[in-house]
């Protein structure tokens, strides 16, 4: 992990986690729900949220001098059941 709760200077976007995974810089959105009754947590990452993540990710990649081709977007989906269900959705969207 190289960053947590990264925010752009302009406040136009936020990324929960920034991690290196096998040579790829992953921008990770973490979504948690008490139950899956109203849908999977990852379904909350809609087009508007994706656009804001992409703005923040491009800002981070530029500042860190990382080629855009070496990046991806992941979602960690957490449902607080017993036992908790945690899924790491790699390359969740482009």
Q: How many domains does the chain have?
A: 1
Which pLDDT score is estimated for 25?
98
The residues pairing with 80 across neighbouring beta strands, listed in sequence order, are: none
> What separation in angstroms does the CA of 79 have from each of 16, 32, 76?
17, 6, 10
The residues pairing with 34 across neighbouring beta strands, listed in sequence order, are: none
Query: How would you label 18-41 residue by residue, b for 16+ Cβ within 10 Å and e otherwise?
Result: beeeeeebbbbbbbebeeeeeeeb
Give the CATH number, domain containing residue 26.
3.40.1350.10
pTM of the entire predicted model: 0.92
Range of 86's domain? Answer: 3-93
Return d(Cα 32, Cα 40) in angstroms, integer. 9
Blockwise average pLDDT, block size 10, the chain, 94 residues: 94 93 97 94 95 96 97 98 96 91
Which pLDDT score is estimated for 54?
96
């Amino acid at each position: 992990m190289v960053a947590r709760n990264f925010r752009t200077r302009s406040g136009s976007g936020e990324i929960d986690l920034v991690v290196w995974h096998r040579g790829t810089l992953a921008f990770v959105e973490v979504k948690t729900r008490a139950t899956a009754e109203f849908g999977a947590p990852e379904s909350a990452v809609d087009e508007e949220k994706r656009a804001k993540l992409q703005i923040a990710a491009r800002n981070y990649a530029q500042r860190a001098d990382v080629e855009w081709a070496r990046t991806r977007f992941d979602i960690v989906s957490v449902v607080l059941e017993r036992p908790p269900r945690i899924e790491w959705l790699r390359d969740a969207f482009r």
